[in-house]
Amino acid sequence: MLRFKTVFLTILFSLFVISGCSNSDSAPTPVTATATPAAATATPAAATATPAAATANSNLNDRNDSFPKTITDLTGDSFVLDGIPKNVVSISPAATEILFAIGAGDSVIAVDSFSNFPVETESLPKLGFQDANTEVIVSYGADLVITTGGHEELTQQLKTLGITTVLLDGAVSIDGIYLHISLLGEIMGLENNAEVIITNMRKQIGAIERKLEDVENGPSVFYELDPGLWSVSSDSFVGELLNILKLRNIAADSASSYPQMNLESIIAENPDVILLADFQYGENSESVKARPGWEVISAVQNNQILEIRDADVVSRPGPRVGNGLELIGKLIYPDIFD
């Protein structure tokens, strides 16, 4: 009984984590390296090479310092900030990316174990994820903590302890990401940078949508999160990306956001494309081909088993979402995207 529970929880938990994060040993991000100018502003690591870098690396003098100010977070709760937070702890990989993207990276003093982007996070203390220790956060002298879905209790506790804590839900739409970015911009006194990031993201995503204008009906796709056949429905963040790319997600109508698919239903739906978001966990086109029964699926027959080499960019609701769209777009429509 205990074993059943442990195994089940391990699976669920890893899923939960995959939905926001992935392997920290990921290869250097290929997308960033080949990023378009629009994408570059959203990724400060690459941004230093472009003119837009100035906004992302703005110094404190550019900051809007009309403090104290009252901030209303996305749940409707208000709090008063006396000044720009100087010791920020982020327990959300997406929030970490946003903080660095808007130029607030210098204030980040500790992150969760899955925050692996940008490279500056490597030198920061890692506080775990599900069980980020409250005492550790307090002893770092945190004056702002950013959490994500699943940290409701921790958030409540930190607020009780008098530490400004903002929960940015992990299950958001792209519009939700814009709200997260502008909220963090407001809190960090970097509204202008946040606006620039959002504008660039809109441009990047708009350009992708225009490229796909002539696509009537994209291929049907099975998005594999895990060799256990866990996938994403249209309610999930990744599901929205598939939608923008005009892909017909075979798991779109599932009851839960992260459904476990039945092999029979995958064969019956006969997807044109299989997207492997579990490439970093050792799955690849060869291993999928070798699975018994899969040879009848048209994606397998037509060699359309596509490996997502950096799943973080795709699954993390942060400033690199445009890069994630391009990453999948290039895999599926190489003619349109190159």
Partner 1 sequence: MRYLFNNFIESAYIKIFVALLILITISIFSLSQGYADIHFSTMVKILWEMINSNDHSQISESSKLIITEIRLPRLIASIIVGGALAYSGATYQGIFRNPLADPFLLGIASGASFGIALLVISPWEQNLYIGILTPFVAFVSSGITIVVVLLLARKAGKFDNYSIILAGVALSAIFSAFTSFILLTGGENARPIFGFLFGGFNTITWLKVFLCTPYVLLGGTVIFLLGHRLNILQLDDDQAQNLGLDVEKTRIILLAAASLIAAAAVSMAGIIGFVGLIVPHMIRLIVGSDYRLLLPLAAIFGATFVVLTDIIARTIIEPQEIPVGIVTAMVGGPFFIWLLSSQKRISM
Residues binding partner 1 (CB under 8 A): 1-2, 4-5, 8-9, 12-13, 16, 110, 113, 125-128, 130-136, 138-139, 141, 149-150, 152-154, 156-157, 160-162, 169, 171, 235, 255-257
DSSP string, 68-110: SEEEE-TTS-EEEESS--SSEEE--HHHHHHHHHTT-GGGEEE
| Cβ distance to partner 1 smaller for residue 135 or 175 | 135
What angle do helix axes 93-101 and 174-187 make, rounded to 10 degrees? 60
| Cβ distance to partner 1 smaller for residue 38 or 163 | 163
Q: How far is the CB of 12 from partner 1 (least distance, A)?
A: 6
Q: Is 213 exposed, middle or buried (0-12, 13-18, 19+ CB in 10 A)?
A: exposed
β-pairing, 220-224 vs 248-249, is: parallel
Distance CA 193, CA 168 (A): 19
Ramachandran bin of 287, using left for φ above 0, alpha for ψ from -120 to 50, beta for the remaining angles: alpha
| Cβ distance to partner 1 smaller for residue 19 or 43 | 19
What is the C-alpha R_g of the chain? Answer: 20
Q: How far apart are the first and last CA of the chain?
A: 53
Q: How far is the CB of 281 from partner 1 (least distance, A)?
A: 21
Q: How far is the CB of 255 from partner 1 (least distance, A)?
A: 6
| Cβ distance to partner 1 smaller for residue 69 or 126 | 126
Distance CA 276, CA 279 (A): 6
Distance CA 335, CA 253 (A): 29
Q: Is 247 exposed, middle or buried (0-12, 13-18, 19+ CB in 10 A)?
A: buried
Q: Which amino acid is at 220?
A: S
Q: How far is the CB of 8 from partner 1 (least distance, A)?
A: 6
Strand partners, 126: 111
| Cβ distance to partner 1 smaller for residue 52 or 132 | 132
Q: How far is the CB of 258 from partner 1 (least distance, A)?
A: 8
Q: How far is the CB of 77 from partner 1 (least distance, A)?
A: 13
| Cβ distance to partner 1 smaller for residue 23 or 157 | 157
Q: How far is the CB of 144 from partner 1 (least distance, A)?
A: 15
| Cβ distance to partner 1 smaller for residue 127 or 198 | 127
| Cβ distance to partner 1 smaller for residue 106 or 169 | 169
Distance CA 232, CA 230 (A): 7
| Cβ distance to partner 1 smaller for residue 8 or 209 | 8
Q: How far is the CB of 150 from partner 1 (least distance, A)?
A: 5
Nearest to 86 by CA among 141, 11, 147, 130: 141
Q: How far is the CB of 166 from partner 1 (least distance, A)?
A: 16
With beta carbons less than 8 A apart as the criterion, state whether 308 and 331 touch.
Answer: yes
Nearest to 317 by CA among 93, 29, 147: 93
